[in-house]
Amino acid sequence: MHVLFVEDEPKIASFVQIGLKEHGFVVDYCDHGDRAYEKATENEYDVILLDIMMPGKDGLFILKHLRQLGRNTPVILLTARNELDDRLQGLNLGADDYIAKPFFVEELVARIQAVVRRSLGERQNLVTIGPFRLDRLTRTVICQRQGEAQTVELTTREFNLLEYLMRSPGRVFTRTQMLEHVWGYDFNPSTNVVDVCIQRLRKKIDSESQERWIESVRGVGYRFRQAETL
């Protein structure tokens, strides 16, 4: 899942980013309210982790205006323990949850999964194409092979890339798009990290099958095939 994380406390920001990435999240981080508001209105995220007190626009301002714009991205407020009034105001403005600092990353991850589950519904957390069933919350991929359900063992990066492709079957993604959305930051455009990851994925999901589910589009990038085109 793609997370916008807004926090101006360096120590908290550091350990949360590390913890979220270890759990497979792609994290877009910023420490200033004005830039956070731009990111939240210009990009699509699965969830926004929003500190209330920070430089520039504060978290409640951002939350209020996102909801006024009709942006329903789940928002979890990060608050100090004594900010009861801010928490209540945030919930009234449309926050989906809050967590008081300090907190454990494991609790934050559980809360993210809960708000996303409520927001999308259980079915939308599952992506099913052909023999593949990808669960975004449990981060598992099941493949039906010869009448048997087999778990496909993937690394965090491989899972994120497969999910990104499977969520839009038939759509062609450039290497730059995949770098930005899966790796979370810009690489040298000449890097072959995407191609290497694609090759590893193919070996795991295609197995002994002659069907290639991840197609190369010459001069452009890659796409995940639609089941009905096979």
d(CA 223, CA 110): 31
Backbone angles phi, psi at 190, to 5 degrees: -85, 0
Regions of the chain where pLDDT drops below 50: 123, 229-230
Residue 147 domain boundaries: 124-229
Residues 21 and 129 in one domain: no
Question: 108-123 in b/e burial notation, b at 16+ Cβ within 10 A?
Answer: bbebbbebbeeeeeee
CATH number at residue 140: 1.10.10.10
∠ CA 45-46-47, rounded to 5°: 90
Q: Domain boundary at 56, 88, 120, which?
A: 120
Q: Which residues, at least 6 apart from 132, have a Cβ–Cβ distance to it below 8 Å?
A: 141, 142, 143, 152, 166, 205, 213
- Residue 8 and residue 14 in contact, taking contact as beta carbons nearer than 8 Å: no
Q: Domain boundary at 87, 120, 153, which?
A: 120
Residues 12 and 106 in one domain: yes
Residues 161 and 67 in one domain: no
Q: Domain boundary at 86, 120, 154, which?
A: 120
Enter the DSSP assignment of 18.
Answer: H
Residues 90 and 136 in one domain: no
- Residue 214 and residue 222 in contact, taking contact as beta carbons nearer than 8 Å: yes
Residues 218 and 145 in one domain: yes
Alpha helices in 78-192 (DSSP H): 84-93, 105-120, 156-166, 175-178
Query: What is the β-pairing status of strands 132-135 and 126-129?
Result: antiparallel
Residues 90 and 133 in one domain: no
Residues 57 and 157 in one domain: no
Residues 71 and 141 in one domain: no
d(CA 143, CA 40): 35
Residues 73 and 148 in one domain: no
pLDDT of residue 230: 39
pLDDT of residue 55: 92
pLDDT of residue 229: 41
Query: What is the β-pairing status of strands 148-151 and 75-80?
Result: unpaired
Task: State the total domains in the chain.
Answer: 2
CATH number at residue 59: 3.40.50.2300
Residues 128 and 52 in one domain: no
Residues 151 and 72 in one domain: no
Residues 113 and 179 in one domain: no
Residue 18 is which amino acid? I
